[in-house]
Structures are given as C-alpha cells and as structure tokens.
Structure 1
Amino acid sequence: MPQHARPRPICAHCDGFPQVAITTGQTTPDGHRETVTATCHPCNGTGHTAPARAYARTGA
C-alpha cells in the first residue's frame, strides 16, 4: 500500500541523529565505559526541522 505522507525535512544540526551517547573516557568499577547522552536542542530530539503536527497541517 503506498504511503501518502510526505517525509519531513531532516534537521541540519544533527543530520537526523538527534540523540547520541558520548564516552567520557572514564570506566566504571566493573570495566564499562561511562557515557553521557546528548540531545539536539534545535529539533528537540526529533531529528526533523518541523514538528509533526505543524507539518501535517500545512503539507509543506
């Protein structure tokens, strides 16, 4: 079945990868690497430039 919803534009700040895990260089006592999660603020962690509701309404 064809999909009629047009794809939303990808965020230029994160290139569609809105959340990433960054290693701190430290390890936990059991040997695992400590990581920090970073979220793209311009797209609020969605990976797209326009919110889904606004995009669906305008169809742009």
Structure 2
Amino acid sequence: MPASNSNRPICRDCGGFPVVSITTGARHRDGSRVLLRAVCRACNGIGHPTPAAALSARR
C-alpha cells in the first residue's frame, strides 16, 4: 500500500490505489503493451475520500 504522510482516511473503494493500468493483450509496434488506465470514480484518482463539506460547496 502506498505510504501516506497525512492522517486522512484512505478511500474505501480503491484501498489507496486510485489509478491502475490494465493490459489489453495487444502490443504497439515497438513491442510495448497497450494499456488502459482506470481511475477510481469514488475519489477521482486521489486515494482519499472527498470530505462532505467539499461536496456541498461544489453545488
């Protein structure tokens, strides 16, 4: 799990791993793999849940 310097809670949906790469099985011309990036929709890729006060301020 990634090291965290803050006391903020870790996102319960992604467990602190907000962005992952998934291989498609295909390869580029140079031989590297084609990857898709998936970002956690609950925390928007930051690894920590958004405080409720910030959610109400956006509206």
TM-score of the superposed pair, with normalisation by structure 2: 0.70
User: Counterpart in 2 of 1:39?
Assistant: 39
- Give unpaired runs (5+ residues) of structure 1: 1-5, 55-60
User: Counterpart in 2 of 1:13?
Assistant: 13
Computing the radius of gyration from Cα coordinates, the structure with the larger value is: 1
**Distance apart, 1:26 and its partner CA:** 0.5
Match of 2:30, as an amino acid? D
Among the aligned pairs, what percent are the same residue?
52
Aligned length: 48
Deviations 1:20-40 (CA, angstroms, capped at 9, x unpaired): 111111011111100011100
- Aligned-partner Cα distance in 2 for 1:17–1:23: 17
4+ runs deviating over 4 angstroms = none
User: Counterpart in 2 of 1:29?
Assistant: 29
- Give unpaired runs (5+ residues) of structure 2: 1-5, 55-59
